[in-house]
Amino acid sequence: MHRLPAEWEPQSAVQLTFPHADSDWADLLEVVLPCFVEIAVTIARFQKVLIVCQNEATTKALFGIELSNNMIFVEAASNDTWARDHGGITIEERTGRWIIQDFMFNGWGLKYPADKDNLITRHLYDKGVFDTGIEHAGLVLEGGGIESDGQGTLLTTAACLLSPNRNPHLSKSQIEERLEKKFGLKQILWLNHGYLAGDDTDSHIDTLARLCSPEIIAYVKCDDPNDEHFVELSKMEVELKSLRQLNGQPYQLVPLPWPDACFSEDGHRLPATYANFLIINGAVLVPTYGVKQDAEALEILKPVFPDREIIGINCRTLIEQHGSLHCVTMQYPMGALGMIKQAII
């Protein structure tokens, strides 16, 4: 029996894949790199950071005096920076041994080039980064499309997992069967409603609703009837209220504030969401956007994670490329990294 751990379980490290001049960040490189550095430096206060980069020396230079022994740098070619979706997904075997599942990443349903990103996990394994086995998972799947409680429940969205450009040869029941076997699942909870304008992942669950514990789901709630999201997110809220834990009890639902709309220079709406937070050892990193709802979002999450520090990081630049804080990270459970003792200086 396999088990897909929850994000709040102890971690070895968090992966970041840094932007470079040949990625989609080329025109915004000078403004986005400080955001990546801030995320890495903040994580390094609590645990290791695995930084995948084009050039180790150049990337280290970005950190200056904030360079930390908790940072591990590995060079690898990449198309882009969304580690949540091209990173390996770790499962636990019955023996307690970790296995990296190397799912196929096809650029969110063939929307963008992903040939280099799809090879990163295997490259890291070949470099000895992981103290695990590795399996080719035989399925197109992104980490941002699934949420696990570590006890056999998976939360996901139909728009993403049933996208015709991901696994068109498989029916819903066949996808469920494969996920149940791969992750040792007892139930899969599907959301059929909810989206964010500007999102190009086909409604990844980590932009909409997040498992915070086996009993708690935090979710985005639109309270403006004039907003284009109001109807769909209201329907999603009804769906969430109908979901049940494995013990038959409803979830404790925690609505997150609806941020003021953010727009790109060309006028299209960007997918700002407070649900895209990252849980790490001792802290929760929450994306903020320079809007008045930022402080409220941080306060709401404090009682949800009473034993962790709640830290806001301005991710306004990240949403210019239609993702946020959780999207650029991937955590690995405690004991999964083989390079964990490697020093960088």
- Which strand (E) or helix (H) includes residue 134? strand 133-140
3-state secondary structure of 225: coil
Identify the DSSP state of 295: H
- CB of 156 closer than 8 Å to CB of 189: yes
Strand order across the 98-104 sheet = 89-92, 98-104, 133-140
Euclidean distance between CA atoms 282 and 305, whole angstroms: 9
- The structure tokens 């086996």 sit at 214
Q: How far apart are CA 312 and CA 274, in angstroms?
A: 10
Residues, the chain: 345
Find the largest Cα–Cα distance for the chain. Answer: 54
88 close to 131: Cβ distance less than 8 angstroms: no
160 given a catalytic annotation: no
Q: Of the residues 35, 53, 315, 327, which is catalytic? A: 327
Please check whether residue 195 is in contact with residue 203, taking contact to mean a CB–CB distance below 8 angstroms. yes
Distance spanning both ends of the chain, measured CA to CA? 41
251, 239 contact by CB (below 8 A): no
Q: Where are the alpha helices (DSSP H) in 48-130?
A: 56-61, 83-86, 107-110, 120-126
CA distances from 152 to 63, 248, 288, 302 (A): 39, 14, 31, 26
Residues taking part in catalysis: 327
